Amino acid sequence: MAALPDLALLSRVTGPADVRRMRPDELPALAREIRDFLIDRVAASGGHLGSNLGLVEVSIALHRVFRSPTDTLLFDTGHQAYVHKLLTGRAERFDRLRQADGLSGYPSRAESEHDVIENSHASTAVAYADGLAKALELRGDTDRRVVAVLGDGALTGGLAYESLNNLGGAPERPVIVVLNDNGRSYGPTIGGIADHLSELRTISSAEDGNFFTHLGLAYVGPVDGHDEPAVERALRQARDLGGPVVVHCVTRKGYGYAHAENDELENFHAVGVIDVATGNPYREVDETWTDVFAQELCHLGQSRPDLVAITAAMGGPTGLLQFATKFPERYFDTGIAEQHAMASAAGLVLAGAHPVVAIYSTFLNRALDQLLMDVAMHRSPVTVVLDRAGITGPDGASHHGIWDLALLGMVPGLRVAAPRDPQRLRDLLAEAIGVGDGPTVLRFPKAVAGADIAAVDTVHGMDVLAVPGDLPADVLLVGVGVLAGECLRAAELLAAHGIGATVVDPRWVLPVNPALPGLAARHALVVAVEDGTRVGGVGAGIAQACADADVTTPVRNLGLPRSFIEHGSRADLLAAAGLTPQGITDLVLRLHRRPTQ
C-alpha cells in the first residue's frame, strides 16, 4: 500500500471482524479509502472497476450484518467481489490482480474461506443459495444465513428466475437476495424487469406489491446503496424476517470516480491499464479481432437487409454496437440470456432473417441445447460468432473459451470456421452468412488481429501455407485459426533440423474436410494444433476421419489440457501448453525420431 499512505482504516482490515468493530462514523472514510485503493490498483493492472466502485457501501454493510464465513456470501456476477476481497484481508495481493499466481478477478476458493463459489457466469447464485439453504435445513443448522448478491444484469438471466420461483414456494427458507440494481450489465439493463425495477425505485415498498412479492418473497427497499447505515438497516430487517427476501439496493456503477460514473460507452465496466487522472488508456490499442468483425458485419449489413445482430448483454465487447448504430432496427439485446438469444434467432429465421448471434465462447455453454435442438435440428441458417475463443488470459478458468470446439463437433449439420488472420475473418464471415441450409460458427480470440498470412496454394477449400520444398513430406501441421501462424513458424524451425513440413489451414475446421485424410496419407505424421481442449476437438476429429478413411498416418493433437486453466497472460498460458513454434517443433522432433517412424 506504499502508493496510498493515507489508508489508515483499510490497513486495519485483516478480516470481517475488523469491519464489524469499526465505529459507524468511521465507515464513510473507509468507503473513500476503498475507492481510492480500487482506482489506484485496477488502473495499474486492469480489471472490473465500475461495478466494484458501485458496491462499496453494500459490501461494507454485508460484512457488518453477516458473519462470513459462518454466514455465506455468494456474489453473482463474481467480478463485483473486489470489495469483498479487501474486507476479507486480501489488500496486499491486489498488486498482482489477475496475473499468474496473483489474485483472481473472481471469487476463488483457493484464496480464502470467505469465497464459496468460483463460477463467474451470471445468474447462478440464487440457485446455489437455494441448494445450500436446503442442505443446512436438512442437517438442522438454523443459525447460518445464506446471502446471494445479484448485480450487473444478473437478474436478466433465466436461471435467476427459475431460482426465485423455487424460493418463492419455500416461505420457510431463509435466503436473502441482495439486488445490486445499477441499471446496467455491460450496457443498460434491458427488458420488462428493467422497467419494473425502474418503477420500484420511485415507489414505496408498502404499496401494492411487486414481481418479487407476487412470487412469494418478501421485499425490502428500495434503499440507497450508497447510504451504508440505510443498507445495514435493510439487511438486518431482511435477516430477521426468517424467510426468502429480496433487498433492493439502488447503486450507481462507477460511483466515486467521475470518469466511470459518466461512462456511457461501457469503457469502465472492465478496464486495461489506464491513467487515473484522465481515465484514458496509457497506450493505443492495436486493431483486435473484434474490431475486424465489427467493421465487416457493418459492411455486409449494407447489402444484406435480412441480416440481424443479436447480443446477450455484450453489445460493446462483441463489437455489435457499430452495427447497432448503423442499423438500430436490426439489432437486438436479450440481456444475459444466451438461451433466449439462440432460440429467438431460430424464430427470426422462420420469417426470412439471417441472424448473427455474437457471444463470448465461454457463454455458448448456456445456449448449447437451443443451438442443438432449436437451430441445428431445424437446419436454420443462424451464424454464431464466438468472441474470446481459446485462452483469454487474466479472467481465468470461467472465461477461457476452450470448450466450444469439443461441444460444437457433435452438433449435426453445423460448420465451424476459424480464421487465421483479418482477411480470412472477412472472407469466412461472408461465407458463413451465405450459408442457407444450416447453422455456422465463426470463432476468434481476444487478441490483436495481426498481419495477413498469404496462402501458397488452395486444395479442396483448404489453404496451404507452406510446403516442404526439397525436403521429404515428413509432417503435416494442421493449424486451427490463429495457431496457423505458429505452425508456419514451426515449419521453419523444423526445416533447420532437416524435417519437411506442410502447413495447412482448413479454414472450415469442423466437420473435418473430407480431403484432409488424403493429404494426411502423403505424410509420415500429422499434428493438429488448436487452442481448444485436446479431448473432442479438431485433432480428435481429424484422427477419426483418418481412421474412417483407413489412413494409417499417426495423428497427434496438440491442444489444451482437459482442466480448468487459471488466470495469467495469454502468451504464457499458450506457451505452457506447448502452443508456440518451439513447442510444436519439440513435439515433432520427439515423435519423428521414434524408431517406429
Is 154 labelled as part of a ligand binding site?
yes
pLDDT surpasses 80 at 1: no
Is 166 labelled as part of a ligand binding site?
no
* The pLDDT of residue 516: 97
pLDDT surpasses 60 at 264: no
Q: What is the pLDDT of residues 381-403, one digit of tens each?
A: 999 999 999 999 888 788 899 99
List the catalytic residues: 253, 338, 366
Q: How far apart are the first and last CA of the chain?
A: 58
Top-confidence residue, 567 or 540: 540
Ordered by where they begin, the domains of the chain are 10-261 (3.40.50.970), 289-443 (3.40.50.970), 457-592 (3.40.50.920)
User: Where does residue 475 rank: exposed (0-12), middle (13-18), buried (19+ CB within 10 A)?
Assistant: buried
Element of type H or E holding 160 = helix 158-168
Q: What is the mean pLDDT of residues 109-124?
A: 84
- Which of 346, 406, 442 is CA-nearest to residue 561? 406
Q: What is the mean pLDDT of residues 39-56?
A: 84
Write phi, then psi, for 294 (nearest 5 degrees).
Answer: -60, -45
Any idea of the CA torsion for 279, 280, 286, 290, to the nearest 10 degrees? 40
User: Which positions ≥6 away from 462 have C-beta within 8 Å?
Assistant: 504, 505, 506, 507, 513, 515, 516, 519
Angle, helix 56-65 to helix 228-241, in steps of 10 degrees: 40
Top-confidence residue, 185 or 286: 286
Please give the C-alpha separations between residue 555 and each of 451, 471, 516, 552, 580, in angstroms, as whole numbers: 29, 20, 12, 9, 19
Element of type H or E holding 32 = helix 27-45
Residue 309 pairs in a beta bridge with 331, 356
Please state, in angstroms and rounded to a whole number, the distance separating the CA atoms of residues 274 and 280.
Answer: 5
Is 120 labelled as part of a ligand binding site?
yes
C-beta neighbour count of 543 within 10 angstroms: 21
Please give the C-alpha separations between residue 449 and each of 417, 485, 507, in angstroms, as whole numbers: 16, 12, 16
Please report, rounded to a whole number, the percentage of residues in the chain having pLDDT higher than 70.
92
Is 122 labelled as part of a ligand binding site?
yes
* The pLDDT of residue 98: 82
- Which of 292, 306, 321, 296 is CA-nearest to residue 430? 296
